[in-house]
Amino acid sequence: MHDYSYQPRPVFHGVGPLFLGPEIEVEVGDGNRYRCAQIAFRELGDLGYLKRDGSLTCGFEIVTHPMSYDWALANFPWDMLGRLRDNGCLATDTTGIHVHLSRAGFSSVAHSYRWMKFIYRNERQVQQVARREASQWAAFCPEDRRAIKNYVKGDWYGPRYRAINTNNEHTFELRVFAGSLDPQTIQAAFAFSVATVEYTRQLSVAAIAGGGWGWPAFTGWLAGQSAYTPLVRQLEALSCAC
Protein backbone atom coordinates (compact mmCIF):
# COMPACT_ATOMS: atom_id res chain seq x y z
CA MET A 1 0.00 0.00 0.00
CA HIS A 2 1.40 3.38 -1.02
CA ASP A 3 1.59 6.67 0.83
CA TYR A 4 -0.99 9.32 0.01
CA SER A 5 1.55 11.31 -2.05
CA TYR A 6 2.27 8.40 -4.41
CA GLN A 7 1.77 9.39 -8.07
CA PRO A 8 2.95 6.85 -10.65
CA ARG A 9 3.28 7.60 -14.33
CA PRO A 10 -0.29 7.33 -15.67
CA VAL A 11 -1.27 4.51 -18.02
CA PHE A 12 -4.25 5.49 -20.17
CA HIS A 13 -7.01 3.01 -20.97
CA GLY A 14 -9.55 3.51 -23.73
CA VAL A 15 -9.89 6.34 -26.23
CA GLY A 16 -9.61 9.98 -25.12
CA PRO A 17 -9.21 12.82 -24.93
CA LEU A 18 -11.55 12.76 -21.91
CA PHE A 19 -10.39 10.32 -19.24
CA LEU A 20 -11.63 9.81 -15.71
CA GLY A 21 -9.60 8.69 -12.74
CA PRO A 22 -11.60 7.62 -9.70
CA GLU A 23 -10.46 7.47 -6.10
CA ILE A 24 -12.76 5.26 -3.99
CA GLU A 25 -12.32 5.50 -0.22
CA VAL A 26 -13.08 2.36 1.78
CA GLU A 27 -13.23 1.66 5.51
CA VAL A 28 -12.48 -1.88 6.59
CA GLY A 29 -14.84 -1.89 9.58
CA ASP A 30 -14.87 -5.30 11.28
CA GLY A 31 -12.87 -6.91 8.52
CA ASN A 32 -9.19 -7.69 8.23
CA ARG A 33 -7.41 -4.71 6.64
CA TYR A 34 -4.63 -6.83 5.19
CA ARG A 35 -7.04 -9.35 3.65
CA CYS A 36 -9.24 -6.60 2.16
CA ALA A 37 -6.21 -4.85 0.71
CA GLN A 38 -5.07 -8.13 -0.82
CA ILE A 39 -8.48 -8.62 -2.44
CA ALA A 40 -8.43 -5.12 -3.93
CA PHE A 41 -4.81 -5.45 -5.04
CA ARG A 42 -5.49 -8.76 -6.77
CA GLU A 43 -8.68 -7.59 -8.48
CA LEU A 44 -7.19 -4.31 -9.69
CA GLY A 45 -4.11 -5.86 -11.25
CA ASP A 46 -2.25 -3.31 -13.36
CA LEU A 47 -5.29 -1.02 -13.55
CA GLY A 48 -4.73 0.65 -10.19
CA TYR A 49 -3.15 0.75 -6.77
CA LEU A 50 -3.99 1.37 -3.12
CA LYS A 51 -3.09 4.41 -1.03
CA ARG A 52 -3.28 5.38 2.62
CA ASP A 53 -5.55 8.31 3.45
CA GLY A 54 -5.43 10.30 6.68
CA SER A 55 -9.19 10.91 6.62
CA LEU A 56 -9.86 7.17 7.07
CA THR A 57 -9.90 5.40 10.44
CA CYS A 58 -8.85 1.96 9.19
CA GLY A 59 -9.11 1.72 5.44
CA PHE A 60 -7.55 2.62 2.13
CA GLU A 61 -8.16 4.46 -1.11
CA ILE A 62 -8.62 2.56 -4.37
CA VAL A 63 -7.11 4.56 -7.23
CA THR A 64 -7.08 3.65 -10.91
CA HIS A 65 -5.10 4.83 -13.87
CA PRO A 66 -7.02 7.10 -16.30
CA MET A 67 -9.89 5.40 -18.14
CA SER A 68 -12.33 6.53 -20.79
CA TYR A 69 -15.92 6.28 -19.62
CA ASP A 70 -16.89 3.40 -21.95
CA TRP A 71 -13.74 1.50 -21.08
CA ALA A 72 -14.38 1.96 -17.36
CA LEU A 73 -17.92 0.57 -17.56
CA ALA A 74 -16.69 -2.48 -19.44
CA ASN A 75 -13.41 -3.17 -17.65
CA PHE A 76 -13.40 -1.82 -14.11
CA PRO A 77 -13.39 -4.82 -11.70
CA TRP A 78 -16.95 -4.33 -10.49
CA ASP A 79 -17.04 -7.72 -8.74
CA MET A 80 -14.26 -6.48 -6.46
CA LEU A 81 -16.74 -4.21 -4.67
CA GLY A 82 -18.98 -7.09 -3.60
CA ARG A 83 -16.00 -9.13 -2.44
CA LEU A 84 -14.83 -6.22 -0.31
CA ARG A 85 -18.30 -5.88 1.24
CA ASP A 86 -18.40 -9.60 1.96
CA ASN A 87 -15.12 -9.22 3.85
CA GLY A 88 -16.28 -6.40 6.10
CA CYS A 89 -15.52 -3.29 4.06
CA LEU A 90 -18.05 -0.49 4.02
CA ALA A 91 -18.73 3.10 3.04
CA THR A 92 -19.21 5.51 5.95
CA ASP A 93 -20.01 9.18 6.45
CA THR A 94 -16.30 9.93 6.17
CA THR A 95 -15.64 8.07 2.91
CA GLY A 96 -16.04 9.63 -0.50
CA ILE A 97 -15.56 9.05 -4.20
CA HIS A 98 -13.46 11.55 -6.13
CA VAL A 99 -13.40 11.57 -9.92
CA HIS A 100 -10.51 13.22 -11.73
CA LEU A 101 -11.36 14.52 -15.22
CA SER A 102 -8.57 15.24 -17.67
CA ARG A 103 -8.23 18.92 -18.52
CA ALA A 104 -7.23 17.83 -22.03
CA GLY A 105 -10.75 16.41 -22.41
CA PHE A 106 -12.23 19.93 -22.39
CA SER A 107 -12.36 21.64 -25.77
CA SER A 108 -11.37 25.09 -24.49
CA VAL A 109 -11.06 27.31 -21.45
CA ALA A 110 -14.61 28.46 -22.21
CA HIS A 111 -15.79 24.84 -22.05
CA SER A 112 -14.11 24.38 -18.64
CA TYR A 113 -15.85 27.56 -17.50
CA ARG A 114 -19.28 26.36 -18.67
CA TRP A 115 -18.81 22.99 -16.94
CA MET A 116 -17.66 24.46 -13.65
CA LYS A 117 -20.40 27.08 -13.75
CA PHE A 118 -23.01 24.35 -14.30
CA ILE A 119 -21.79 22.39 -11.29
CA TYR A 120 -21.84 25.41 -8.99
CA ARG A 121 -25.17 26.77 -10.24
CA ASN A 122 -26.87 23.45 -9.49
CA GLU A 123 -25.48 22.81 -6.02
CA ARG A 124 -28.66 21.30 -4.56
CA GLN A 125 -29.22 18.86 -7.42
CA VAL A 126 -25.54 17.90 -7.60
CA GLN A 127 -25.59 17.08 -3.91
CA GLN A 128 -28.68 14.93 -4.44
CA VAL A 129 -26.95 12.97 -7.19
CA ALA A 130 -23.82 12.74 -5.05
CA ARG A 131 -25.87 11.57 -2.02
CA ARG A 132 -23.87 13.99 0.08
CA GLU A 133 -24.85 17.29 1.62
CA ALA A 134 -22.44 20.03 2.67
CA SER A 135 -19.09 18.47 3.50
CA GLN A 136 -15.81 19.88 4.76
CA TRP A 137 -14.08 17.68 2.18
CA ALA A 138 -16.09 18.90 -0.83
CA ALA A 139 -17.45 22.33 0.04
CA PHE A 140 -19.53 24.54 -2.24
CA CYS A 141 -18.32 28.07 -1.50
CA PRO A 142 -19.52 31.37 -3.02
CA GLU A 143 -15.95 32.57 -3.45
CA ASP A 144 -15.19 29.59 -5.70
CA ARG A 145 -18.19 30.34 -7.90
CA ARG A 146 -16.95 33.93 -8.26
CA ALA A 147 -13.41 32.76 -9.04
CA ILE A 148 -14.26 30.27 -11.80
CA LYS A 149 -12.73 32.44 -14.54
CA ASN A 150 -9.46 32.55 -12.66
CA TYR A 151 -9.48 28.83 -11.92
CA VAL A 152 -10.03 27.71 -15.52
CA LYS A 153 -7.38 30.12 -16.84
CA GLY A 154 -4.90 28.90 -14.25
CA ASP A 155 -4.42 32.38 -12.79
CA TRP A 156 -4.57 30.83 -9.31
CA TYR A 157 -5.60 27.67 -7.56
CA GLY A 158 -8.33 27.42 -4.97
CA PRO A 159 -8.38 25.40 -1.75
CA ARG A 160 -8.20 21.66 -2.28
CA TYR A 161 -11.22 20.58 -0.23
CA ARG A 162 -13.84 22.06 -2.52
CA ALA A 163 -16.57 20.58 -4.70
CA ILE A 164 -14.10 20.94 -7.58
CA ASN A 165 -10.41 20.80 -6.74
CA THR A 166 -8.48 22.85 -9.30
CA ASN A 167 -5.02 22.32 -7.80
CA ASN A 168 -3.92 19.55 -10.16
CA GLU A 169 -2.04 20.47 -13.31
CA HIS A 170 -3.66 17.91 -15.59
CA THR A 171 -7.09 17.25 -14.04
CA PHE A 172 -10.12 18.77 -12.39
CA GLU A 173 -11.11 16.69 -9.38
CA LEU A 174 -14.85 16.40 -8.74
CA ARG A 175 -14.98 15.57 -5.02
CA VAL A 176 -18.72 15.68 -4.31
CA PHE A 177 -19.71 12.00 -4.19
CA ALA A 178 -20.45 10.08 -1.00
CA GLY A 179 -18.62 6.80 -0.56
CA SER A 180 -20.13 3.58 -1.86
CA LEU A 181 -19.32 -0.03 -2.66
CA ASP A 182 -22.39 -0.44 -4.87
CA PRO A 183 -21.47 -0.86 -8.57
CA GLN A 184 -24.60 0.95 -9.84
CA THR A 185 -23.93 3.95 -7.61
CA ILE A 186 -20.30 4.22 -8.68
CA GLN A 187 -21.26 3.82 -12.34
CA ALA A 188 -23.72 6.69 -11.87
CA ALA A 189 -20.92 8.83 -10.40
CA PHE A 190 -18.76 8.09 -13.44
CA ALA A 191 -21.69 8.84 -15.75
CA PHE A 192 -22.53 12.15 -14.05
CA SER A 193 -18.92 13.30 -14.18
CA VAL A 194 -18.61 12.62 -17.91
CA ALA A 195 -22.17 13.59 -18.90
CA THR A 196 -21.83 17.08 -17.42
CA VAL A 197 -18.63 17.60 -19.39
CA GLU A 198 -20.28 16.48 -22.63
CA TYR A 199 -23.45 18.46 -22.00
CA THR A 200 -21.53 21.69 -21.50
CA ARG A 201 -19.18 21.01 -24.43
CA GLN A 202 -21.59 22.45 -27.04
CA LEU A 203 -23.68 24.64 -24.75
CA SER A 204 -24.15 27.84 -26.76
CA VAL A 205 -24.82 31.38 -25.59
CA ALA A 206 -28.35 31.09 -26.99
CA ALA A 207 -28.94 27.83 -25.13
CA ILE A 208 -27.66 29.36 -21.90
CA ALA A 209 -29.96 32.35 -22.37
CA GLY A 210 -32.82 29.88 -22.78
CA GLY A 211 -32.10 28.12 -19.51
CA GLY A 212 -29.26 25.86 -20.59
CA TRP A 213 -27.48 26.14 -17.26
CA GLY A 214 -30.59 24.89 -15.47
CA TRP A 215 -31.10 21.35 -14.22
CA PRO A 216 -34.23 20.65 -16.35
CA ALA A 217 -32.28 21.44 -19.52
CA PHE A 218 -29.56 19.00 -18.50
CA THR A 219 -31.94 16.17 -17.61
CA GLY A 220 -33.88 16.77 -20.82
CA TRP A 221 -30.67 16.34 -22.80
CA LEU A 222 -29.71 13.34 -20.70
CA ALA A 223 -32.94 11.52 -21.57
CA GLY A 224 -31.70 11.14 -25.14
CA GLN A 225 -28.23 9.87 -24.22
CA SER A 226 -28.24 6.10 -23.83
CA ALA A 227 -24.58 6.06 -22.77
CA TYR A 228 -25.49 7.46 -19.37
CA THR A 229 -28.15 4.94 -18.35
CA PRO A 230 -26.60 4.39 -14.87
CA LEU A 231 -27.11 8.09 -14.11
CA VAL A 232 -30.65 8.18 -15.51
CA ARG A 233 -31.59 5.23 -13.30
CA GLN A 234 -30.13 6.89 -10.23
CA LEU A 235 -31.92 10.18 -10.94
CA GLU A 236 -35.20 8.29 -11.20
CA ALA A 237 -34.51 6.42 -7.96
CA LEU A 238 -33.64 9.65 -6.16
CA SER A 239 -36.60 11.49 -7.71
CA CYS A 240 -34.40 14.33 -8.97
CA ALA A 241 -34.74 13.72 -12.70
CA CYS A 242 -36.29 17.12 -13.33
pLDDT tens digits, one per residue of 88-98: 999 998 899 99
d(CA 171, CA 54): 22
pLDDT of residue 193: 98
Q: Smallest Cα–Cα separation from 69: which of 177, 182, 195, 224? A: 195
Number of domains in the chain: 1
Residues 166, 172: Cα–Cα separation, whole Å: 5
Q: Per the domain annotation, does 68 fall within a domain?
A: yes
Mention every residue, 6+ apart, whose C-beta is less than 8 A from residue 27.
Answer: 56, 57, 58, 59, 89, 90, 91, 92, 94, 95
Residue 62 · residue 50 · CB < 8 Å: yes
Instruction: Give the span between the Cα atoms of 85 and 80, in whole angstroms.
Output: 9
Q: What percent of the chain has a predicted confidence (pLDDT) above 90?
A: 72
Which pLDDT score, from 0 to 100, does residue 55 have? 78
Return the closest-CA partner of residue 173 out of 91, 52, 66: 66
Would you say residue 82 lies in a domain? yes
Residue 151 maps to a domain: yes
Q: Which residues lie closer than 8 Å to 206 by C-beta, 6 or more apart?
A: none
Q: Is 179 a residue whose pLDDT tops 60?
A: yes
Q: What is the pLDDT of residue 158?
A: 72
Is 144 a member of any domain?
yes
Count of residues making up the chain: 242
* pLDDT score, position 204: 93
Does 232 have pLDDT greater than 80? yes
Domain that holds residue 64: 20-183
- Asked if residue 199 is part of any domain, the answer here is no
Contact 235, 129 (CB under 8 A): yes
Considering the domain boundaries, does residue 241 fall inside one?
no
Structural domain contains residue 194: no
Nearest to 200 by CA among 221, 178, 171, 226: 221
- Return the percentage of the chain with pLDDT > 70, whole number: 98
- State how far the Cα of 155 lies from the Cα of 157, in Å rounded to an integer: 7
Sign of CA dihedral 148, 153, 159, 160: positive
Tens digit of each residue's pLDDT (9 = 90 or more) over 16-35: 999 999 999 999 977 788 89
pTM of the predicted model as reported, rounded to 2 decimal places: 0.94
- What pLDDT score was predicted for residue 47? 97
pLDDT band at 5 (very low <50, low <70, confident <90, very high): confident
pLDDT of residue 149: 86
Mean pLDDT of 130-148: 85
Cβ-count burial 109-143 (b if 16+ within 10 Å, e if not): eebbbbbbbbbbebeebbbbbbbbeebebbebeee
What pLDDT score was predicted for residue 156?
A: 67
Judged against a pLDDT cut of 80, whether residue 168 lies above it is answered with yes
State the Cα–Cα distance between residues 186 and 179, nearest whole angstrom. Answer: 9
- Predicted confidence (pLDDT) per residue in 49-98, tens digit: 999 887 788 889 999 999 999 999 999 999 999 999 999 999 998 899 99
CA dist 218 and 49 (Å) reads 34
Question: What is the average pLDDT across 118-129?
Answer: 94
Tell me the average pLDDT of the chain: 92
Q: Angle at CA 11, nearest 5°, toward 6 and 14?
A: 140
Half-sphere exposure of 8 (CA within 13 A, CB side): 16
In a domain, 209, yes or no: no
More confidently predicted of 138 and 179: 179
The pLDDT of residue 241: 53
**122 contact partners, CB below 8 Å, separation of at least 6:** 213, 214, 215, 218
pLDDT at residue 183 greater than cutoff 90: yes
